[in-house]
Amino acid sequence: MSEESLIREVEEEVRKEQLKRLWDRYGVYVLGLCLAVIVIVGGTKLWQYFERQKALAAGQQYVEAMQLADEGKNEEAFAAFTKLAQSTSTGARTLAVLQEAAVRIAKNDVPGAVAAYDIVAADSGAEGPLRDLARVRAGYLLVDTAPLDELEKRVGTLNAEGNPWRNAAREILALGAYRNNDLQKANELLVEIIGDPRASMGSRQRAQILLSMIQSQTDKLPGAAPANTGASGEGSTAQPAVPPATPPAAGADTNPATPPAASSGTQ
């Protein structure tokens, strides 16, 4: 055996001895780390599986509850939506609470519907558009009874440039101002709706009708747009008081660009 071969053999033995010492010292930690990774990955996959199953079950319950509502079985639908809202933390819960509010409206339970909408509006886990939708719907329900300050608190922040709900908020605030005989504020809000190029045709028509009602009472408001008498099908004579505003029915289009009708008499 040459001297070079002997040196290599000794070096290999030294390396083996060093690796053995390292394994003896840290091997248990390496095994523990590997086991922990396996447990974490496996646990995550298992949790995701159960969450998917839970979401599927909640979705099925939601569909069944919607079928009951479509069949006019309001009591059974209400019980189903309430149970779903209390038994799940998935996205279906938010939809269930919104539908629960719609069923309460069908039962003329306005305070209960407002309370349900407030739950969604205050739920930090709910999607932002759904929270804003709940605030708008509650605002329409309260526009005939709530003080203007409360309406401002509920939907005032939605009246901002770029917010898709701004014209719905303006409509609610204008109706509230009109009810409180603040015609100047109502006029300003209605002019903003009419002048907003992103406002839907329905929003503009309702604003024109209410604006013509205001102008029939006074012609001294600065900046008032000319009343579009064609929207109401009547002349410029005085109109009756604003009828109660009602939110859209369950299942109705909730596109921010087309907010619910503020008055059943202005459709």
Does residue 239 carry a pLDDT above 60?
Answer: no
More confident residue, 4 or 120: 120
Is residue 251 located within the same domain as residue 166? Answer: yes
Mean pLDDT, range 13-24, rounded to an integer: 82
- pLDDT per residue over 125-151, tens digit each? 888 888 999 999 999 999 999 999 999
Least confident of 88-97, 211-220, 244-253: 244-253
Tokens representing 106 are: 């069908």
Lowest mean pLDDT among 95-104, 159-168, 177-186, 227-236: 227-236
Amino acid identity of residue 73, one-letter, is K
> For position 90, what pLDDT does the model report?
60
Domain carrying residue 241:
127-267
Mean pLDDT of 97-106: 86
Query: Which of these three, 89, 118, 147, is where a domain ends?
Result: 118
Residues 3-27 have a mean pLDDT of 79
pLDDT(111) > 90: yes
Are both 17 and 96 inside the same structural domain?
A: yes
Q: What's the whole-number average pLDDT of the chain? A: 77
Instruction: Give how far the C-alpha of residue 125 lies from the chain's centroid of Cα atoms, to the nearest Å.
Output: 10
> Does position 100 have pLDDT exceeding 90, yes or no?
no
Cα 213 to chain centroid, rounded: 32
Lowest-pLDDT range of 5-14, 19-28, 132-141: 5-14
Contact 157, 139 (CB under 8 A): no
- CA-CA distance, 154 to 131, in Å (whole number)? 11
- Residues in the chain, overall count: 267
Which residues contact residue 98 at a Cβ distance below 8 angstroms, ignoring those fewer than 6 apart? 116, 117, 120, 130, 133, 134
Residues 193 and 76 in one domain: no
**Which range has the worst mean pLDDT, 80-84, 110-114, 221-225, 251-255?**
251-255
Instruction: State whether 172 and 255 are in the same domain.
Output: yes
Residues 165 and 253 in one domain: yes
pLDDT value for 219: 61
| 94 and 170 fall within a common domain | no
Q: Are residues 136 and 266 in the same domain?
A: yes
Averaged over 37-44, what is the pLDDT?
Answer: 91
Residues 9 and 81 in one domain: yes
Residue 189 has pLDDT above 90, yes or no: yes
Last residue of a domain, one of 84, 118, 152: 118
The domain that holds 101 is classified in CATH as 1.25.40
Please determine, for residue 163, whether its predicted confidence score (pLDDT) is greater than 80: yes
For residue 246, the model assigns a pLDDT of 47
In this structure, the answer to whether residues 141 and 265 fall within a common structural domain is yes
pLDDT, position 87: 67
DSSP letter for each residue of 201-255: HHHHHHHHHHHHHHHHH-S--TTPPPP-HHHHTS-SSPPPPPPPP-PPPTTS---
Q: Model confidence at 88, in pLDDT bands (50, 70, 90)?
A: low
Q: Which of 77, 96, 118 is the last residue of a domain?
A: 118
Q: What's the pLDDT tens digit per position in 201-225?
A: 999 999 999 999 888 877 655 554 4
Residues 102 and 221 in one domain: no
Same domain, 152 and 238: yes
**What pLDDT band is residue 174 in, cutting at 50, 70 and 90?**
very high
Q: pLDDT of 46-78, one tens digit each?
A: 888 877 777 677 667 667 777 776 777 777 777
DSSP 156: G
Q: How many domains does the chain have?
A: 2
pLDDT of residue 142: 94
Residues 110 and 139 in one domain: no
